[in-house]
A and B are shown apart, each in its own frame.
Chain A
Amino acid sequence: MRNISLIFRKGLKSVFVFAILSFLMVAGAQAQDLVEGKTLFKGKCASCHALDQNATGPALTPKMNEREEGYLIKWIRNNVELRASGDKTAIEAANYSPTEMTAFPTLTDDQIKNIIAYAKVGEPKKIVDAGTAVVDEGVSTLSLLGVIAIIIVSIIVLVVLGRAIKMLERLILQKQGIEVVEEENVSLAVGIKGLFKNKKFVFFFVICLIAVLGSFGWMGMWNTGVHTGYQPVQPIKFSHELHAGINQIDCQYCHTSAFKSKNSTIPSLNVCMNCHKAVQARKEDGQISPEIMKIYNALGYDADKQTYDKTKEKPVEWVRVHNLPDFAYFNHAQHVVVGEAAIRKQAGIKPTDPVCFACHGPVNTMEEIYQYSPLTMKWCINCHKEADISGKKNDAFYANVIAAHEKIKKGEKITPAALGGLECGKCHY
């Protein structure tokens, strides 16, 4: 009897262990599938397909659930052959876009199955904490209110303390048996009148007034026309901190012309679309980020159909931050390309940072762009007095100047043309 139960127990145990083992193996194999599927998907498919949104190719998760695996394998391996064989479904599917899907004859059945398994399930949805998205705005008004509140509170405290001291004095006097003479109640108007008759007070008041008005006037005059710290509200909440800082995109990628011409241009929207055709920063509910939608709306771009509607185009009206008056000539390329080494040295820019930081400040930390430098004449002149360009003495430009000097020393004829007087830009800009 006992033996039987022992055997039974042993059997049960082994069955149990076997079940657990096989379950683990299956689970392990499936996980392996998904990991390999993901790698293959990222490598072979993701340049044209996304899982849940249409791209160059259609969204894959619904397509993978629509058709049976055997058919999908045939299509993925060589869709051209499948269409050539006259398969109606395949010919219809190819109508999605004039772009042909690449054939993958080297993929094995297992590899394709892994891709399909991954495409069906997709990424586990991330749960985003809604609390972190709160934007703190109006810090300046808050701090101002705080200052006012502190002042009011301290005035009240002063008044209360004054009253308390008076009361205590009176109590002490009463205890000492001295009769307190009630002060006559002076009305406020009479009190102020009395105050202005007090020469000391009037003198003090006038001094204060002069100091306040004088310092404000002085500061106001110095800062007239100086826009340091100017940070206008832009039509799209573009963050330089995200793009130039976290994502490490070079300044030149968007402000291409700063390295070629006088102006550093604001990029046109096709430059945004180089990335934002694919990067849509969708929220959990599948909505495209509202700021990216502003790009799409300005272009008349339909994200699902991936088509542009020219009739809906309207320019994005960025607000200009750095405005050098037109009577001052400034050339970006001259500073960024020709003067780069000298400016880097003068401003102490790290070799890993762009030379642009010398004047525009740490743009890679600015969530909202603002004017970092005063752009005053004094500011320009100070740098031009100090920056060291002796490294440039072998340049063609300086060679010309030296040659001209030699001519002058010898008493030869010298023309404006020898000093670059035929350059168009000397007169026309």
Chain B
Amino acid sequence: MKGSTLAMNKKYIVYAAFTVLAAVAMLSACTDKRSTGLEYARNMYDPIAYNQDQPNKNFVNGQTAQTPPLNTDPVGFVRFEYANTPEGFAASGALVNPLSLTEKNLLEGKHYYNVFCGPCHGEKGDGQGHIVKLDKGIAGVPSYYGEDPSHHTGETGLVKDLSAGKIYHTIFYGLNSMGSYASQLTPTERWKVVMYVQQLQKQ
């Protein structure tokens, strides 16, 4: 009699051990990638001041990042005074690149060109960037050299003849399908890109 109870207990012990192992295996698989998990003193992680892209109930539109008041400029900022019109474009032709043509400026211009312009305009400026080759909706990017006409309204010349100021105008406002790159490139960076584009025009 005693022997049989011991056998029974042995069986139960095996079952219990199995259950515990199974539970451990299951619980360890239970990490939720959608949650940040346990946190101690969360308030030490959250800033007291508002971050730029945080919601903010103190403003009417509920955002922390506000548009600067009209007609204000940061210290040292030079405004681009030419309008986004055919007249403004024509007038911008008078602008001259304020940077001097150095190897360093050109190299930096090449870097920014390859990151921001190259995907569509191609690393050689032939209008055959890798995004164009994907053929997903962006096509017909003009070549900087050769006989491609400029698509600016009122401009009858070729892309290869566009002056520095007109290239800057195009980067600043965008043109047709091309968007404005003013938010991604600072004025100095834009002039460096202009410098590099003018090198590509000479091909």
B88 close to chain A: CB less than 8 A: no
How far apart are A199's CB and chain B's nearest CB, in angstroms? 11
Residue in contact with B140 in the complex, picked from A42, A220, A249, CB distance below 8 Å: A42
- Contact status B33-A162, CB under 8 Å: no
Q: How far is it, in angstroms, between the C-alpha of A94 and the C-alpha of B20 when the chains are bound?
A: 78
Residues of A within 8 A of B181 (CB): 274
A60 CB to closest chain B CB, in angstroms? 12
CB distance B179 to A327 under 8 Å? no
Which of A2-10, A229-237, A409-417 lines the interface with chain B?
Answer: A229-237
Docked-complex contact A47 and B153, CB < 8 angstroms = no
In A207-243, which residues have CB < 8 Å from any B CB? 208, 212, 215-216, 220, 223-227, 229-233
A194 contacts B38, C-beta separation under 8 Å? no
CA distance A256 to B111 in the complex (A): 13
- Using known A-B contacts A253-B184, A270-B183, determine if residue A48 contacts B151 with beta carbons closer than 8 Å: yes
A200 and B13 CA atoms in complex are apart in Å by 9
| In the bound complex, CA of A225 to CA of B36 (Å) | 7
B137 in the interface (beta carbon within 8 A): yes
Instruction: For the complex formed, measure the closest distance between the CB of B28 and the CB atoms of chain A, giving whole angstroms.
Output: 8
> For the complex, is B30 an interface residue (Cβ under 8 Å from A)?
yes
* Interface stretch of the complex, out of A84-92, A95-103, A341-349: A95-103
Q: Are A46 and B38 in contact (CB under 8 A)?
A: no
Q: Provided the pairs A224-B39, A231-B34 are in contact, do residues A250 and B177 lie with their beta carbons within 8 angstroms?
A: no
User: A62 at interface (Cβ–Cβ under 8 A)?
Assistant: no
A102 contacts across to B, CB distance below 8 A? 149-151
Docked pose: A256 CA to B181 CA in angstroms: 11
Bound-state CA distance A81–B110 (Å) is: 40
The yes or no answer to A286 lying at the interface (CB within 8 A) is: no
Of the candidates B24, B40, B119, which one forms a contact with A212 in the assembled complex, judged by CB atoms under 8 Å apart?
A: B24
Are A247 and B131 in touch, CB under 8 angstroms?
yes
Range, interface on chain B: 35 or more
Contact call A194/B5, Cβ cutoff below 8 A: yes
Query: Once the chains bind, are B34 and A233 in contact (CB under 8 Å)?
Result: yes
Interface centre among B44, B140, B149, B183, by most A CB within 10 Å?
B140
Interface of chain B residues 1 through 44 with chain A (CB within 8 A): 4-5, 8-9, 11-13, 15-18, 20, 22-27, 29-31, 33-40, 44
Q: Cβ of A275 < 8 Å from any Cβ of B?
A: yes
Q: How far is the CA of A48 from the CA of B175 in the complex (A)?
A: 10
Scoring B residues 168 to 190 as 1 if CB is less than 8 Å from chain A, else 0, what string do you get? 00000000111111011110000
Residues of B within 8 A of A16 (CB): none
Instruction: State A223–B178 Cα separation when bound (angstroms).
Output: 47
Contact B177 A56, beta carbon cutoff 8 Å = yes
Q: Is B63 an interface residue (CB 8 A)?
A: yes
Q: Are B153 and A271 in contact (CB under 8 A)?
A: no
Q: Can you name the residue of chain B whose Cβ is closest to the Cβ of A53?
A: B137
Q: Which one of B16, B47, B115 lies within 8 Å of A250 (CB-CB)?
A: B115
Kindly identify, within residues 106 to 149 of chain A, every residue whose CB is under 8 Å from any CB belonging to chain B. 106, 140, 143-144, 147-148
Bound Cα distance from A274 to B150, whole angstroms: 19
- Is B57 an interface residue, CB under 8 A from the partner? no
Are A191 and B20 interface neighbours, CB within 8 A? no
Which of A98, A140, A273, A279 meets B136, CB within 8 Å? A279
Q: How far is the CB of A303 from chain B (nearest CB, A)?
A: 12
By beta carbon, the residue of chain B nearest A208 is B20
Q: How far is the CA of A326 from the CA of B34 in the complex (A)?
A: 22
A33-52 contacts to B, CB under 8 A, are 41-50
Residues in A neighbouring B136, C-beta threshold 8 A: 279, 281
Would you give the shortest CB distance from B8 to chain A, in whole angstroms? 7
Give residues 261-319 of A contacting B (CB, 8 Å).
Answer: 263, 265-266, 268, 270-271, 273-275, 277-281, 315, 317-318
- Which among A41, A50, A277 has the highest number of chain B CB atoms within 10 Å? A277
B156 within 8 A of A: yes
Q: Which residue of B lies closest to A229 (CB)?
A: B33
Contacts A144-B30, A147-B25, A148-B26; is A278 near B138 (CB within 8 Å)?
A: yes
Partner of A208, one of B17, B29, B131, B184: B17
How far is A143 from B25 in the complex, measured between Cα atoms in Å? 12
Q: How far is the CB of A371 from chain B (nearest CB, A)?
A: 9
Given A225-B39, A249-B119, A325-B44, verify A99-B153 contact (CB < 8 Å): yes
Q: A residues within 8 Å of B by Cβ? A: 41-50, 55-56, 98-100, 102-104, 106, 140, 143-144, 147-148, 151, 154-155, 158, 162, 183, 186, 191, 194-195, 198, 200-201, 204-205, 208, 212, 215-216, 220, 223-227, 229-233, 247-250, 252-253, 256, 260, 263, 265-266, 268, 270-271, 273-275, 277-281, 315, 317-318, 323, 325-327, 370
Identify 6 residue pairs between A and B in the complex whose beta-carbon atoms are under 8 Å apart, listed by A's number.
A46-B140, A47-B142, A48-B176, A100-B153, A256-B184, A370-B33
What is the interface of chain B, defined by CB distance below 8 A to chain A? Answer: 4-5, 8-9, 11-13, 15-18, 20, 22-27, 29-31, 33-40, 44-48, 52-53, 55, 63, 86, 114-116, 119, 130-131, 134, 136-142, 147-151, 153-154, 156, 176-181, 183-186
7 more CB-based (< 8 A) A-B contacts, given A158-B15, A212-B20 = A42-B140, A55-B176, A147-B29, A230-B33, A252-B115, A266-B53, A268-B183
Instruction: Please name the 10 residue pairs, one residue from A and one from B, whose CB atoms are nearest each other, closest first.
Output: A46-B140, A47-B140, A46-B139, A274-B179, A100-B153, A56-B176, A279-B137, A325-B45, A326-B47, A278-B137
